[in-house]
Structure formats: structure tokens, C-alpha cells
Amino acid sequence: MRQKRGKALKHLPYLELKAALARKGLNQKYIASLLGLSPVTVNQKINGSLDFSYREAEIIANNLEAKTHELFFTKKVAGM
């Protein structure tokens, strides 16, 4: 597991998801209302402290008109 300010992360941050939100002019509050979660919980999921369920990932991808794997399953980078 990776460390972030002393806390173990479950996964790397979802950078593609963050980029897709920015391109659409949306924010994490939009995702929170879409999923019925608090903005804090969504932030923790996006930044790696908690996991999205596959169903949550599908809902987000459909609403952003993107493919689930493009937003949530990123390629490994050499050296990581």
C-alpha cells in the first residue's frame, strides 16, 4: 500500500476521473449528490483512502459519458 501523509492508501488517486470532472466543469459535490454520499466520502474515494464499488464507478462513468475502465483502471507506469 502507498502512504499519504502517514496514512496507507487503498489505491492510487483517480487522476483520470479528476480530469474528466474538470473537462466537464463538474466537481466532487456533483459525484456526491449523484451517489447519495457525503462530499468527504467521495473525496476519500477519489484520493485513494476508500474504494468505489463497481456500481458506483459505473454510475459515475455513465454520467460523465466515459468508459468505466478509462476512469478507474489506469495503466501502470514504469517504476511504480
Going along the chain from its start, the domains and CATH numbers come out as: 2-72 (1.10.260.40)
Q: On the CB side of 40, how many CA atoms lie within 13 Å of its CA? A: 0
**pLDDT confidence of residue 8:** 79
The rounded distance, in Å, linking the Cα atoms of 38 and 44 is: 10
**How sure is the predictor about 80, in pLDDT bands with cuts at 50, 70 and 90?**
very low
Single-letter code of the amino acid located at 48? G
Q: Is the pLDDT of residue 19 over 90?
A: yes
Residue pair 56/35 in contact (Cβ under 8 Å)? The answer is yes
Q: What is the pLDDT of residues 53-72, one digit of tens each?
A: 999 999 999 999 999 999 98
At residue 37, the pLDDT reads: 98
